[in-house]
Structure 1
Amino acid sequence: MNTNDANAPEGGLNVTLTIRLLMHGKEVGSIIGKKGETVKKMREESGARINISEGSCPERIVTITGPTDAIFKAFSMIALKFEEDINASMTNSTVTSKPPVTLRLVVPASQCGSLIGKGGSKIKEIRESTGAQVQVAGDMLPNSTERAVTISGTPDAIIQCVKQICVVMLESPPKGATIPYRPKPASGPIIFAGGQAFAIQGQYAIPHPDLTKLHQLAMQHTPFTPLGQTTPGFPGLDATSPTSSHELTIPNDLIGCIIGRQGSKINEIRQMSGAQIKIANASEGNGERQVTITGSPANISLAQYLINASFFW
Protein backbone atom coordinates (compact mmCIF):
# COMPACT_ATOMS: atom_id res chain seq x y z
CA MET A 1 0.00 0.00 0.00
CA ASN A 2 1.38 3.39 -0.96
CA THR A 3 0.52 5.66 1.96
CA ASN A 4 2.42 8.59 0.43
CA ASP A 5 0.12 8.69 -2.59
CA ALA A 6 -2.04 11.80 -2.26
CA ASN A 7 -4.29 10.54 -5.05
CA ALA A 8 -5.11 7.22 -3.40
CA PRO A 9 -8.79 7.06 -2.46
CA GLU A 10 -10.05 7.03 1.13
CA GLY A 11 -8.86 3.89 2.88
CA GLY A 12 -5.55 3.91 0.97
CA LEU A 13 -6.73 1.50 -1.74
CA ASN A 14 -4.16 1.39 -4.51
CA VAL A 15 -4.64 -1.83 -6.42
CA THR A 16 -4.98 -2.56 -10.12
CA LEU A 17 -8.47 -1.96 -11.38
CA THR A 18 -10.27 -1.91 -14.76
CA ILE A 19 -12.96 0.68 -15.52
CA ARG A 20 -14.99 0.57 -18.73
CA LEU A 21 -16.48 3.65 -20.36
CA LEU A 22 -19.09 3.88 -23.09
CA MET A 23 -18.44 6.69 -25.58
CA HIS A 24 -19.97 8.02 -28.78
CA GLY A 25 -17.88 8.24 -31.95
CA LYS A 26 -17.40 12.01 -31.51
CA GLU A 27 -16.11 11.57 -27.92
CA VAL A 28 -13.75 8.79 -29.01
CA GLY A 29 -12.37 11.02 -31.77
CA SER A 30 -11.66 13.71 -29.19
CA ILE A 31 -9.83 11.25 -26.90
CA ILE A 32 -7.76 9.77 -29.74
CA GLY A 33 -6.81 13.19 -31.14
CA LYS A 34 -4.95 13.99 -34.33
CA LYS A 35 -2.86 10.95 -35.36
CA GLY A 36 -3.51 9.44 -31.91
CA GLU A 37 -1.50 12.15 -30.13
CA THR A 38 -4.08 12.86 -27.37
CA VAL A 39 -4.53 9.25 -26.24
CA LYS A 40 -0.75 8.68 -26.43
CA LYS A 41 -0.20 11.65 -24.09
CA MET A 42 -2.93 10.39 -21.72
CA ARG A 43 -1.29 6.95 -21.57
CA GLU A 44 2.17 8.38 -20.94
CA GLU A 45 1.17 10.96 -18.32
CA SER A 46 -1.33 8.81 -16.39
CA GLY A 47 0.54 5.50 -16.52
CA ALA A 48 -2.80 3.77 -17.17
CA ARG A 49 -3.49 1.40 -20.06
CA ILE A 50 -6.18 2.96 -22.26
CA ASN A 51 -7.69 0.66 -24.89
CA ILE A 52 -10.42 1.64 -27.36
CA SER A 53 -12.62 -1.08 -28.88
CA GLU A 54 -12.49 -1.67 -32.63
CA GLY A 55 -15.32 -0.61 -34.90
CA SER A 56 -17.07 2.46 -36.19
CA CYS A 57 -20.01 4.52 -34.88
CA PRO A 58 -22.14 4.89 -32.93
CA GLU A 59 -20.57 3.58 -29.68
CA ARG A 60 -17.17 2.33 -28.52
CA ILE A 61 -15.89 0.91 -25.24
CA VAL A 62 -12.88 2.64 -23.68
CA THR A 63 -11.12 0.43 -21.12
CA ILE A 64 -8.84 2.04 -18.53
CA THR A 65 -6.63 -0.31 -16.49
CA GLY A 66 -3.99 0.39 -13.89
CA PRO A 67 -3.38 1.26 -10.24
CA THR A 68 -6.15 3.48 -8.86
CA ASP A 69 -3.97 6.63 -8.91
CA ALA A 70 -3.21 6.07 -12.63
CA ILE A 71 -6.92 5.55 -13.33
CA PHE A 72 -7.84 8.81 -11.58
CA LYS A 73 -5.19 10.68 -13.55
CA ALA A 74 -6.56 9.24 -16.82
CA PHE A 75 -10.12 10.15 -15.83
CA SER A 76 -8.98 13.64 -14.92
CA MET A 77 -7.40 14.10 -18.37
CA ILE A 78 -10.51 12.77 -20.15
CA ALA A 79 -12.87 14.99 -18.12
CA LEU A 80 -10.69 18.07 -18.77
CA LYS A 81 -10.56 17.24 -22.51
CA PHE A 82 -14.35 16.99 -22.64
CA GLU A 83 -14.68 20.32 -20.81
CA GLU A 84 -12.27 21.85 -23.35
CA ASP A 85 -14.54 20.50 -26.14
CA ILE A 86 -17.63 22.01 -24.45
CA ASN A 87 -15.89 25.41 -24.13
CA ALA A 88 -14.84 25.26 -27.80
CA SER A 89 -18.38 24.40 -28.94
CA MET A 90 -19.77 27.34 -26.97
CA THR A 91 -17.57 30.00 -28.59
CA ASN A 92 -19.85 30.30 -31.64
CA SER A 93 -23.02 29.22 -29.85
CA THR A 94 -25.95 31.26 -28.53
CA VAL A 95 -26.36 28.87 -25.57
CA THR A 96 -25.73 30.76 -22.33
CA SER A 97 -25.74 27.91 -19.77
CA LYS A 98 -22.71 25.66 -19.93
CA PRO A 99 -23.56 21.95 -20.12
CA PRO A 100 -21.77 19.67 -17.61
CA VAL A 101 -19.10 17.14 -18.56
CA THR A 102 -20.74 13.71 -18.84
CA LEU A 103 -19.10 10.26 -18.69
CA ARG A 104 -20.83 6.88 -18.92
CA LEU A 105 -19.31 4.01 -16.96
CA VAL A 106 -20.21 0.40 -17.73
CA VAL A 107 -20.59 -1.49 -14.43
CA PRO A 108 -21.54 -5.16 -13.80
CA ALA A 109 -25.19 -5.21 -12.67
CA SER A 110 -24.21 -7.29 -9.61
CA GLN A 111 -22.21 -4.29 -8.30
CA CYS A 112 -24.92 -1.70 -8.95
CA GLY A 113 -26.82 -2.65 -5.78
CA SER A 114 -23.81 -1.70 -3.63
CA LEU A 115 -23.41 1.52 -5.63
CA ILE A 116 -27.04 2.50 -5.04
CA GLY A 117 -27.06 1.36 -1.39
CA LYS A 118 -30.02 0.49 0.81
CA GLY A 119 -32.91 2.73 -0.17
CA GLY A 120 -30.55 4.72 -2.40
CA SER A 121 -28.41 5.80 0.57
CA LYS A 122 -24.99 5.23 -1.03
CA ILE A 123 -25.72 6.99 -4.33
CA LYS A 124 -27.24 9.92 -2.37
CA GLU A 125 -24.08 10.14 -0.25
CA ILE A 126 -21.88 10.13 -3.40
CA ARG A 127 -24.00 12.88 -5.02
CA GLU A 128 -23.91 15.07 -1.91
CA SER A 129 -20.20 14.65 -1.10
CA THR A 130 -18.94 15.16 -4.69
CA GLY A 131 -21.49 17.53 -6.23
CA ALA A 132 -21.72 15.25 -9.29
CA GLN A 133 -24.97 13.91 -10.71
CA VAL A 134 -24.98 10.08 -10.75
CA GLN A 135 -27.62 7.96 -12.48
CA VAL A 136 -27.68 4.14 -12.60
CA ALA A 137 -29.67 2.79 -15.56
CA GLY A 138 -32.61 0.60 -14.59
CA ASP A 139 -32.09 -1.83 -17.45
CA MET A 140 -29.03 -3.82 -18.42
CA LEU A 141 -27.25 -2.94 -21.65
CA PRO A 142 -28.28 -5.21 -24.59
CA ASN A 143 -26.95 -8.81 -24.53
CA SER A 144 -24.93 -8.20 -21.34
CA THR A 145 -25.10 -8.24 -17.54
CA GLU A 146 -23.80 -4.67 -17.28
CA ARG A 147 -25.52 -1.36 -16.65
CA ALA A 148 -24.61 2.18 -17.65
CA VAL A 149 -23.75 4.56 -14.82
CA THR A 150 -23.88 8.18 -16.00
CA ILE A 151 -21.83 10.79 -14.14
CA SER A 152 -22.07 14.49 -14.91
CA GLY A 153 -20.66 17.64 -13.34
CA THR A 154 -17.44 19.64 -13.29
CA PRO A 155 -14.20 17.71 -14.01
CA ASP A 156 -13.28 17.91 -10.31
CA ALA A 157 -16.69 16.60 -9.18
CA ILE A 158 -16.36 13.73 -11.70
CA ILE A 159 -12.91 12.72 -10.37
CA GLN A 160 -14.17 12.71 -6.77
CA CYS A 161 -17.17 10.68 -7.86
CA VAL A 162 -15.04 8.12 -9.77
CA LYS A 163 -12.83 7.73 -6.65
CA GLN A 164 -15.87 6.85 -4.55
CA ILE A 165 -17.26 4.48 -7.18
CA CYS A 166 -13.86 2.70 -7.34
CA VAL A 167 -13.93 2.20 -3.57
CA VAL A 168 -17.42 0.63 -3.81
CA MET A 169 -16.34 -1.63 -6.70
CA LEU A 170 -13.24 -2.82 -4.85
CA GLU A 171 -15.21 -3.47 -1.66
CA SER A 172 -18.03 -5.30 -3.51
CA PRO A 173 -16.55 -7.45 -6.32
CA PRO A 174 -18.94 -8.69 -9.04
CA LYS A 175 -20.92 -11.81 -8.20
CA GLY A 176 -20.98 -14.62 -10.76
CA ALA A 177 -19.90 -14.32 -14.38
CA THR A 178 -20.20 -10.94 -16.09
CA ILE A 179 -21.29 -10.82 -19.73
CA PRO A 180 -19.60 -7.63 -20.98
CA TYR A 181 -21.51 -5.18 -23.15
CA ARG A 182 -20.26 -5.09 -26.73
CA PRO A 183 -21.67 -2.24 -28.83
CA LYS A 184 -23.25 -3.40 -32.08
CA PRO A 185 -21.24 -2.57 -35.19
CA ALA A 186 -22.44 0.45 -37.12
CA SER A 187 -23.85 -1.72 -39.86
CA GLY A 188 -24.56 -5.29 -40.74
CA PRO A 189 -24.55 -6.64 -44.29
CA ILE A 190 -27.68 -6.28 -46.41
CA ILE A 191 -28.96 -8.67 -49.06
CA PHE A 192 -31.66 -8.33 -51.71
CA ALA A 193 -33.77 -11.41 -52.41
CA GLY A 194 -37.17 -11.89 -54.02
CA GLY A 195 -37.63 -8.15 -54.47
CA GLN A 196 -37.11 -7.54 -50.72
CA ALA A 197 -34.21 -6.14 -48.70
CA PHE A 198 -32.94 -7.92 -45.58
CA ALA A 199 -30.50 -6.67 -42.93
CA ILE A 200 -28.28 -9.44 -41.55
CA GLN A 201 -28.13 -9.44 -37.74
CA GLY A 202 -26.15 -12.33 -36.29
CA GLN A 203 -27.60 -15.48 -37.84
CA TYR A 204 -30.87 -13.88 -38.89
CA ALA A 205 -32.05 -11.96 -41.96
CA ILE A 206 -34.41 -9.20 -40.80
CA PRO A 207 -36.77 -7.70 -43.44
CA HIS A 208 -35.90 -4.04 -44.01
CA PRO A 209 -39.06 -2.22 -45.27
CA ASP A 210 -37.39 1.14 -46.07
CA LEU A 211 -34.67 -0.44 -48.18
CA THR A 212 -37.23 -2.73 -49.84
CA LYS A 213 -39.22 0.36 -50.95
CA LEU A 214 -36.09 1.94 -52.44
CA HIS A 215 -35.14 -1.32 -54.12
CA GLN A 216 -38.61 -1.63 -55.69
CA LEU A 217 -38.50 2.04 -56.72
CA ALA A 218 -35.18 1.45 -58.46
CA MET A 219 -36.62 -1.58 -60.24
CA GLN A 220 -39.63 0.44 -61.48
CA HIS A 221 -37.67 3.49 -62.65
CA THR A 222 -34.94 1.74 -64.59
CA PRO A 223 -35.24 -0.59 -67.57
CA PHE A 224 -35.14 -4.22 -66.53
CA THR A 225 -31.94 -5.95 -67.59
CA PRO A 226 -31.47 -9.71 -67.74
CA LEU A 227 -29.54 -11.25 -64.85
CA GLY A 228 -25.82 -11.18 -65.48
CA GLN A 229 -25.91 -7.69 -67.04
CA THR A 230 -26.66 -5.82 -63.85
CA THR A 231 -24.76 -3.56 -61.51
CA PRO A 232 -23.11 -5.80 -58.87
CA GLY A 233 -25.17 -6.24 -55.73
CA PHE A 234 -28.22 -4.39 -57.08
CA PRO A 235 -30.25 -6.22 -59.77
CA GLY A 236 -32.30 -4.13 -62.15
CA LEU A 237 -30.13 -1.02 -62.29
CA ASP A 238 -29.20 -0.20 -65.83
CA ALA A 239 -25.92 1.61 -66.40
CA THR A 240 -27.52 3.48 -69.35
CA SER A 241 -29.99 5.38 -67.10
CA PRO A 242 -29.43 9.17 -67.10
CA THR A 243 -26.81 10.09 -64.52
CA SER A 244 -26.82 13.08 -62.22
CA SER A 245 -24.91 14.23 -59.14
CA HIS A 246 -26.01 15.01 -55.61
CA GLU A 247 -23.93 16.63 -52.86
CA LEU A 248 -24.10 16.12 -49.10
CA THR A 249 -22.15 17.75 -46.28
CA ILE A 250 -21.20 15.43 -43.43
CA PRO A 251 -19.62 16.58 -40.10
CA ASN A 252 -15.98 15.43 -39.75
CA ASP A 253 -16.74 13.49 -36.56
CA LEU A 254 -19.30 11.33 -38.41
CA ILE A 255 -17.34 10.70 -41.61
CA GLY A 256 -15.74 7.59 -40.07
CA CYS A 257 -19.20 5.97 -39.84
CA ILE A 258 -19.51 6.19 -43.62
CA ILE A 259 -15.93 5.21 -44.52
CA GLY A 260 -15.66 2.28 -42.09
CA ARG A 261 -12.51 0.39 -41.25
CA GLN A 262 -10.01 0.71 -44.13
CA GLY A 263 -12.82 1.94 -46.38
CA SER A 264 -14.95 -1.21 -45.95
CA LYS A 265 -18.23 0.66 -45.34
CA ILE A 266 -17.95 3.14 -48.26
CA ASN A 267 -16.99 0.30 -50.62
CA GLU A 268 -20.04 -1.68 -49.47
CA ILE A 269 -22.32 1.36 -50.07
CA ARG A 270 -20.80 1.90 -53.54
CA GLN A 271 -21.27 -1.74 -54.48
CA MET A 272 -24.83 -2.00 -53.15
CA SER A 273 -26.10 1.28 -54.59
CA GLY A 274 -24.20 1.18 -57.88
CA ALA A 275 -23.42 4.89 -57.37
CA GLN A 276 -20.04 6.60 -57.50
CA ILE A 277 -19.27 8.27 -54.16
CA LYS A 278 -16.44 10.75 -53.66
CA ILE A 279 -15.50 12.17 -50.25
CA ALA A 280 -13.57 15.46 -50.31
CA ASN A 281 -10.42 15.76 -48.20
CA ALA A 282 -10.70 17.57 -44.87
CA SER A 283 -9.78 21.24 -45.14
CA GLU A 284 -8.21 23.32 -42.36
CA GLY A 285 -10.78 25.01 -40.11
CA ASN A 286 -13.74 23.34 -41.82
CA GLY A 287 -15.76 20.99 -39.60
CA GLU A 288 -17.50 19.33 -42.55
CA ARG A 289 -16.65 17.18 -45.58
CA GLN A 290 -18.30 17.30 -48.99
CA VAL A 291 -19.68 13.99 -50.29
CA THR A 292 -20.60 13.77 -54.01
CA ILE A 293 -22.87 10.95 -55.21
CA THR A 294 -23.11 10.30 -58.96
CA GLY A 295 -25.43 7.86 -60.71
CA SER A 296 -29.02 7.34 -61.83
CA PRO A 297 -31.80 8.78 -59.57
CA ALA A 298 -32.36 5.28 -58.15
CA ASN A 299 -28.61 4.78 -57.49
CA ILE A 300 -28.45 8.16 -55.71
CA SER A 301 -31.58 7.49 -53.60
CA LEU A 302 -30.22 4.17 -52.39
CA ALA A 303 -26.72 5.56 -51.72
CA GLN A 304 -28.24 8.44 -49.70
CA TYR A 305 -30.35 6.04 -47.68
CA LEU A 306 -27.37 3.75 -46.95
CA ILE A 307 -25.21 6.73 -45.92
CA ASN A 308 -27.89 7.99 -43.49
CA ALA A 309 -28.51 4.49 -42.16
CA SER A 310 -24.79 3.95 -41.48
CA PHE A 311 -25.04 6.43 -38.55
CA PHE A 312 -27.55 4.19 -36.73
CA TRP A 313 -26.77 0.53 -37.49
Structure 2
Amino acid sequence: MSGTTIQVLTAFQLVLAKLHSRLKAEDGSDVELRRTRVVVPHSSCGSIIGKGGATIRSFIEDSKAGIKISPLDFGLSDRLVTLSGTMEEQMRAIALILTKLTEDDDYSQQVHSPNSYRKDLGLCNLLQAWSSVKSRISLGNKQNHKEDSYNTVTIGVSDEHIGVVIGRKGSHIMEISQSSGARIKISGRGGFLPGTTDRKVTISGLQGSIDLAVSIIERKVDKASKKRAKDETDMDTD
Protein backbone atom coordinates (compact mmCIF):
# COMPACT_ATOMS: atom_id res chain seq x y z
CA MET A 1 0.00 0.00 0.00
CA SER A 2 1.19 3.51 -0.69
CA GLY A 3 -0.29 6.98 -0.43
CA THR A 4 -0.96 9.54 2.26
CA THR A 5 -1.28 8.30 5.82
CA ILE A 6 -5.07 8.60 5.82
CA GLN A 7 -5.20 6.68 2.52
CA VAL A 8 -2.97 3.88 3.82
CA LEU A 9 -4.90 3.51 7.08
CA THR A 10 -8.22 3.60 5.23
CA ALA A 11 -7.04 0.96 2.76
CA PHE A 12 -5.72 -1.25 5.55
CA GLN A 13 -8.96 -1.14 7.49
CA LEU A 14 -11.01 -1.73 4.34
CA VAL A 15 -8.94 -4.86 3.69
CA LEU A 16 -9.48 -6.08 7.26
CA ALA A 17 -13.21 -5.33 7.03
CA LYS A 18 -13.44 -7.25 3.73
CA LEU A 19 -11.65 -10.27 5.19
CA HIS A 20 -13.91 -10.07 8.24
CA SER A 21 -17.06 -10.09 6.09
CA ARG A 22 -15.76 -13.03 4.04
CA LEU A 23 -14.99 -15.04 7.18
CA LYS A 24 -18.48 -14.26 8.47
CA ALA A 25 -20.06 -15.39 5.18
CA GLU A 26 -18.08 -18.63 5.07
CA ASP A 27 -18.48 -19.52 8.74
CA GLY A 28 -22.05 -18.31 9.15
CA SER A 29 -21.29 -16.68 12.49
CA ASP A 30 -19.86 -13.38 13.68
CA VAL A 31 -16.24 -14.51 13.43
CA GLU A 32 -13.62 -11.79 13.78
CA LEU A 33 -10.26 -11.74 12.03
CA ARG A 34 -7.87 -12.20 14.94
CA ARG A 35 -4.49 -12.21 13.20
CA THR A 36 -2.86 -10.17 10.45
CA ARG A 37 0.66 -10.21 9.02
CA VAL A 38 2.41 -7.24 7.45
CA VAL A 39 5.84 -7.05 5.81
CA VAL A 40 8.44 -4.62 7.14
CA PRO A 41 12.01 -4.15 5.82
CA HIS A 42 14.57 -5.76 8.12
CA SER A 43 16.55 -2.51 8.33
CA SER A 44 13.52 -0.73 9.83
CA CYS A 45 12.58 -3.37 12.40
CA GLY A 46 15.04 -1.99 14.92
CA SER A 47 13.03 1.22 15.26
CA ILE A 48 9.87 -0.81 15.95
CA ILE A 49 11.60 -3.05 18.50
CA GLY A 50 13.49 -0.28 20.31
CA LYS A 51 16.33 -0.58 22.78
CA GLY A 52 15.89 -3.80 24.73
CA GLY A 53 12.43 -4.21 23.18
CA ALA A 54 11.12 -1.07 24.91
CA THR A 55 9.28 0.34 21.89
CA ILE A 56 7.44 -2.82 20.89
CA ARG A 57 6.45 -3.40 24.52
CA SER A 58 4.99 0.11 24.68
CA PHE A 59 3.06 -0.55 21.45
CA ILE A 60 1.63 -3.78 22.89
CA GLU A 61 0.61 -2.01 26.10
CA ASP A 62 -0.93 0.92 24.21
CA SER A 63 -2.83 -1.05 21.55
CA LYS A 64 -3.60 -4.18 23.62
CA ALA A 65 -2.69 -6.14 20.46
CA GLY A 66 -0.16 -8.93 20.24
CA ILE A 67 2.84 -7.91 18.12
CA LYS A 68 5.52 -10.40 17.07
CA ILE A 69 8.36 -9.90 14.59
CA SER A 70 9.73 -12.94 12.78
CA PRO A 71 13.45 -13.74 12.65
CA LEU A 72 15.26 -12.75 9.46
CA ASP A 73 15.34 -15.66 7.00
CA PHE A 74 18.50 -16.19 4.99
CA GLY A 75 18.42 -14.40 1.65
CA LEU A 76 15.45 -12.17 2.55
CA SER A 77 15.49 -8.46 3.32
CA ASP A 78 11.99 -8.31 4.88
CA ARG A 79 10.47 -9.62 8.10
CA LEU A 80 6.89 -10.47 9.03
CA VAL A 81 5.15 -8.51 11.75
CA THR A 82 2.22 -10.53 13.12
CA LEU A 83 -0.60 -8.61 14.81
CA SER A 84 -3.22 -10.39 16.90
CA GLY A 85 -6.31 -9.13 18.67
CA THR A 86 -9.56 -7.41 17.77
CA MET A 87 -9.74 -5.34 14.59
CA GLU A 88 -9.67 -2.19 16.72
CA GLU A 89 -6.53 -3.35 18.54
CA GLN A 90 -4.79 -4.30 15.29
CA MET A 91 -5.58 -0.91 13.72
CA ARG A 92 -4.17 0.88 16.76
CA ALA A 93 -1.00 -1.21 16.52
CA ILE A 94 -0.66 -0.41 12.80
CA ALA A 95 -1.00 3.33 13.52
CA LEU A 96 1.75 3.14 16.14
CA ILE A 97 4.04 1.12 13.86
CA LEU A 98 3.52 3.59 11.00
CA THR A 99 4.48 6.37 13.38
CA LYS A 100 7.91 4.84 13.89
CA LEU A 101 8.36 4.02 10.21
CA THR A 102 7.73 7.63 9.19
CA GLU A 103 10.59 8.63 11.50
CA ASP A 104 12.99 6.04 10.07
CA ASP A 105 15.36 7.26 7.32
CA ASP A 106 16.08 3.71 6.10
CA TYR A 107 12.39 3.05 5.54
CA SER A 108 11.87 6.33 3.68
CA GLN A 109 14.70 5.41 1.31
CA GLN A 110 13.26 1.96 0.63
CA VAL A 111 9.77 3.20 -0.19
CA HIS A 112 10.06 4.34 -3.79
CA SER A 113 6.55 5.71 -4.21
CA PRO A 114 6.27 9.50 -4.64
CA ASN A 115 3.26 9.29 -2.31
CA SER A 116 5.08 7.54 0.53
CA TYR A 117 4.40 8.60 4.11
CA ARG A 118 5.54 12.09 5.01
CA LYS A 119 8.34 11.96 7.53
CA ASP A 120 7.03 14.92 9.52
CA LEU A 121 3.58 13.52 10.33
CA GLY A 122 4.33 12.79 13.98
CA LEU A 123 2.30 10.77 16.48
CA CYS A 124 -0.52 13.25 17.06
CA ASN A 125 -1.32 13.73 13.37
CA LEU A 126 -1.06 10.01 12.63
CA LEU A 127 -3.40 9.08 15.46
CA GLN A 128 -5.73 11.84 14.31
CA ALA A 129 -5.80 10.19 10.89
CA TRP A 130 -6.43 6.82 12.54
CA SER A 131 -9.29 8.30 14.57
CA SER A 132 -10.74 9.79 11.40
CA VAL A 133 -10.58 6.42 9.67
CA LYS A 134 -12.50 4.80 12.53
CA SER A 135 -15.23 7.41 12.21
CA ARG A 136 -15.53 7.07 8.43
CA ILE A 137 -15.54 3.30 7.96
CA SER A 138 -18.39 1.14 9.18
CA LEU A 139 -17.48 -1.94 11.19
CA GLY A 140 -21.01 -2.51 12.43
CA ASN A 141 -23.94 -0.51 13.73
CA LYS A 142 -22.80 -0.75 17.32
CA GLN A 143 -19.43 0.85 16.63
CA ASN A 144 -20.95 3.48 14.35
CA HIS A 145 -23.36 4.51 17.09
CA LYS A 146 -20.50 4.88 19.55
CA GLU A 147 -18.34 6.91 17.15
CA ASP A 148 -21.20 9.22 16.13
CA SER A 149 -22.32 10.06 19.66
CA TYR A 150 -21.36 13.44 21.15
CA ASN A 151 -20.05 13.05 24.68
CA THR A 152 -18.39 15.03 27.44
CA VAL A 153 -15.88 13.62 29.92
CA THR A 154 -13.89 15.22 32.73
CA ILE A 155 -10.44 14.04 33.73
CA GLY A 156 -8.04 15.29 36.38
CA VAL A 157 -4.55 16.64 35.77
CA SER A 158 -2.34 17.51 38.73
CA ASP A 159 -1.92 21.23 39.29
CA GLU A 160 1.86 20.92 38.94
CA HIS A 161 1.51 19.46 35.43
CA ILE A 162 -1.38 21.53 34.09
CA GLY A 163 1.11 23.90 32.46
CA VAL A 164 2.31 21.27 29.98
CA VAL A 165 -1.31 20.75 28.91
CA ILE A 166 -2.07 24.46 28.53
CA GLY A 167 1.25 25.57 27.03
CA ARG A 168 2.48 29.12 26.59
CA LYS A 169 -0.52 31.36 25.94
CA GLY A 170 -2.65 28.24 25.48
CA SER A 171 -0.56 26.90 22.58
CA HIS A 172 -0.61 23.27 23.73
CA ILE A 173 -4.31 23.10 24.44
CA MET A 174 -5.02 24.67 21.05
CA GLU A 175 -2.76 22.09 19.38
CA ILE A 176 -4.47 19.20 21.19
CA SER A 177 -7.90 20.51 20.24
CA GLN A 178 -6.94 20.92 16.58
CA SER A 179 -5.29 17.49 16.42
CA SER A 180 -8.15 15.62 18.06
CA GLY A 181 -11.16 17.66 16.95
CA ALA A 182 -12.38 17.83 20.57
CA ARG A 183 -13.26 20.91 22.62
CA ILE A 184 -11.16 21.22 25.78
CA LYS A 185 -11.82 23.41 28.81
CA ILE A 186 -9.61 23.62 31.90
CA SER A 187 -10.87 24.83 35.26
CA GLY A 188 -9.41 28.00 36.77
CA ARG A 189 -6.99 28.16 39.67
CA GLY A 190 -8.41 26.30 42.64
CA GLY A 191 -10.96 24.50 40.47
CA PHE A 192 -9.99 21.03 41.66
CA LEU A 193 -11.74 17.69 41.47
CA PRO A 194 -13.30 17.00 44.90
CA GLY A 195 -10.77 15.72 47.41
CA THR A 196 -7.78 16.25 45.10
CA THR A 197 -5.39 18.90 43.84
CA ASP A 198 -6.14 17.89 40.25
CA ARG A 199 -7.48 20.55 37.90
CA LYS A 200 -10.61 19.66 35.92
CA VAL A 201 -10.06 19.08 32.21
CA THR A 202 -13.40 18.81 30.41
CA ILE A 203 -13.29 17.29 26.93
CA SER A 204 -16.27 17.33 24.55
CA GLY A 205 -16.80 15.86 21.08
CA LEU A 206 -17.20 12.58 19.25
CA GLN A 207 -15.95 9.60 21.23
CA GLY A 208 -12.99 9.05 18.89
CA SER A 209 -11.95 12.69 19.30
CA ILE A 210 -12.25 12.47 23.09
CA ASP A 211 -10.15 9.29 23.20
CA LEU A 212 -7.46 10.92 21.08
CA ALA A 213 -7.39 14.10 23.19
CA VAL A 214 -7.10 12.06 26.41
CA SER A 215 -4.27 10.02 24.89
CA ILE A 216 -2.32 13.15 23.90
CA ILE A 217 -2.82 14.74 27.33
CA GLU A 218 -1.73 11.57 29.13
CA ARG A 219 1.43 11.40 27.02
CA LYS A 220 2.31 15.03 27.77
CA VAL A 221 1.78 14.56 31.51
CA ASP A 222 3.71 11.28 31.55
CA LYS A 223 6.64 12.88 29.74
CA ALA A 224 6.66 15.82 32.17
CA SER A 225 6.49 13.46 35.18
CA LYS A 226 9.44 11.40 33.94
CA LYS A 227 11.49 14.54 33.24
CA ARG A 228 10.80 15.90 36.72
CA ALA A 229 11.72 12.57 38.34
CA LYS A 230 14.98 12.49 36.35
CA ASP A 231 15.83 16.07 37.31
CA GLU A 232 15.22 15.30 40.99
CA THR A 233 17.41 12.19 40.76
CA ASP A 234 20.20 14.20 39.13
CA MET A 235 19.97 16.82 41.91
CA ASP A 236 20.21 14.14 44.59
CA THR A 237 23.25 12.68 42.86
CA ASP A 238 24.97 16.06 42.79
TM-score by length of 1: 0.32
Q: Which has the higher contact order (CA 8 A, sep 6+)?
A: 2
Which one has a bigger Cα radius of gyration? Answer: 1
- As a proportion of its length, which structure holds more strand? 1
- As a proportion of its length, which structure holds more helix? 2
